[in-house]
C-alpha cells in the first residue's frame, strides 16, 4: 500500500506478503461458495418448476382437457375437476356452474322445441310440417282418393242468442275436443273448425284404401258422442253430417297464420251434403256410397236439390249392419 504526504507526494510503500497457500485456500473457498450457490439456485429453480407443473400446469391442462372433452361429446351433464379451495378450484367450480346453467338452458330449449313441434303437428300433418321447415313457399299436393266430412250443430245460431258466450264456448270446446279424440284414434286428419262446423278428411296425407269406411265410422261415432254429450250437459244438441269422396288438393298457402286446407269440387259437394242434410243424419253422395263396404246400413234418400248441381240422388248412412242403427 502506498502512503503519501500532505502534499500528495509518496513517502512510504508498505508491503504485506500473503502466503500462496492461504490465498489459494481463500480462492478455493470462494469457488466452492459460488458453486454451492449455483447448485442451490438450480435446485430451487427445479423445485419451483416441479411445483409449478404439479400445482398449476397439470391442473390447468386437466381443466382444459375436461372442457375440450365436454365440448367434443356435447354432454353438458359432465363436470370438470374442481376439488380444493385454491384459485384453480374456484375456476373449476365456476366452469361447473356455467355448465349447469348451459344444461338448464339447453333442457329448456329442448322442451320449448318439443312444445313447438307439438303445436305445429296439431296444426299441420307431419309430412307437410317437415316440408314447411325447408320450403317456405306454398305447398300443395293432389290426392285422388279421399273422403271429406263436414258436421254442423243444428240450431247453434239460435242457441247462441239465448246462452252466455262463455258457456256456449265451453260447450263447443267440450264437444269438438271429443271429436278431435275420435279423429286421432281413427287416424284421420282434422282440417279445421269454422264456428260450429267441424271438418275432417280421410285418406291423406297418407293414402288409405279404406278412407270411406274410416270416415263413415267417424261420422257414426260423432252422432253417438253428440247424443251422449247432450245428455251429460243437459243441452239439446243435434248434429248434421255430410260426406263426399273424390279428388282434392291439399296444402297451405301464404306465410302468416297459415292452415292446412283442402280445395276442389269434392270439398264443395261434401259441404253441400251437410247443409242439405236432415237433422241428426249422415248424408252421403253416390261417390261415397260406392266406396263403402257391405257392412253399413245405407238407404237412398232420393233426389235433393244441391246448389250449383241441381237435383242429385243422395243416401243416408244409418249405422253398421253388425252394430245396429247408430243414427236417427
Q: Which residues are catalytic?
A: 152-153, 196
What is the C-alpha separation between 231 and 308, in angstroms, rounded? Answer: 38
Residues 123 and 259 sit within 8 Å (Cβ to Cβ): yes
- Closest listed residue to residue 241, CA positions, set 310, 154, 145: 154
Residues 310 and 282 sit within 8 Å (Cβ to Cβ): no
**Residue the block writes with cell 384453480:** 88
Q: Determine the straight-line distance between the first and last CA of the chain, rounded to whole angstroms.
A: 143
- Closest listed residue to residue 259, CA positions, set 105, 59, 123, 168: 123
What is the 3-class SS of 171-230, one letter each residue?
HHHHHHHHHHHHHHHHCCEEEEEECCEEEEEECCCCCCCCHHHHHHHHHHHHHHHHHHHH
Distance of CA 290 to the CA centre of its chain: 41
- Closest listed residue to residue 296, CA positions, set 272, 276, 316: 316
What is the C-alpha separation between 176 and 226, in angstroms, rounded? Answer: 10
Contacts of the segment 40-48: beta carbons below 8 A, 24+ positions apart: none
Amino acid at each position: 500500500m502506498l502512503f503519501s504526504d500532505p502534499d500528495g507526494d509518496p513517502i512510504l510503500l508498505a508491503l504485506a506478503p500473503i502466503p500462496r497457500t492461504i490465498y489459494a485456500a481463500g480462492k478455493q473457498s470462494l469457488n466452492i461458495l459460488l458453486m454451492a450457490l449455483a447448485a442451490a439456485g438450480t435446485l430451487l429453480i427445479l423445485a419451483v418448476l416441479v411445483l409449478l407443473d404439479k400445482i398449476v400446469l397439470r391442473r390447468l391442462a386437466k381443466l382444459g382437457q375436461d372442457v375440450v372433452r365436454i365440448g367434443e361429446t356435447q354432454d353438458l351433464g359432465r363436470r370438470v375437476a374442481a376439488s380444493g379451495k385454491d384459485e384453480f378450484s374456484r375456476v373449476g367450480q365456476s366452469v361447473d356452474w356455467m355448465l349447469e346453467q348451459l344444461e338448464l338452458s339447453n333442457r329448456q330449449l329442448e322442451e320449448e322445441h318439443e312444445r313447438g313441434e307439438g303445436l305445429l303437428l296439431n296444426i299441420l300433418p307431419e309430412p307437410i310440417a317437415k316440408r314447411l321447415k325447408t320450403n317456405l313457399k306454398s305447398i300443395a299436393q293432389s290426392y285422388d282418393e279421399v273422403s271429406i266430412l263436414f258436421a254442423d250443430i243444428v240450431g247453434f245460431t239460435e242457441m247462441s242468442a239465448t246462452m252466455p258466450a262463455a258457456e256456449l264456448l265451453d260447450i263447443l270446446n267440450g264437444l269438438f275436443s271429443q271429436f278431435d279424440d275420435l279423429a286421432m284414434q281413427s287416424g284421420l286428419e282434422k282440417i279445421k273448425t269454422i264456428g260450429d262446423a267441424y271438418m275432417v278428411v280421410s285418406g291423406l296425407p297418407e293414402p288409405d284404401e279404406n278412407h270411406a269406411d274410416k270416415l263413415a265410422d267417424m261420422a257414426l261415432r260423432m252422432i253417438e258422442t253428440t247424443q251422449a254429450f247432450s245428455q251429460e250437459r243437459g243441452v239439446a244438441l243435434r248434429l248434421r253430417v255430410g260426406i263426399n269422396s273424390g279428388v282434392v288438393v291439399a296444402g297451405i298457402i301464404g306465410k302468416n297464420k297459415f292452415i292446412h286446407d283442402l280445395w276442389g269440387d269434392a270439398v264443395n259437394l261434401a259441404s253441400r251434403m251437410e247443409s242439405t242434410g236432415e237433422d241428426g243424419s249422415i248424408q252421403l253422395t253416390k261417390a261415397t256410397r260406392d266406396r263403402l263396404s257391405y257392412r253399413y246400413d245405407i238407404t237412398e234418400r232420393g233426389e235433393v236439390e244441391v246448389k250449383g248441381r241441381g237435383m242429385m240422388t243422395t243416401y243416408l248412412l244409418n249405422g253398421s249392419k253388425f252394430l245396429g242403427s247408430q243414427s236417427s
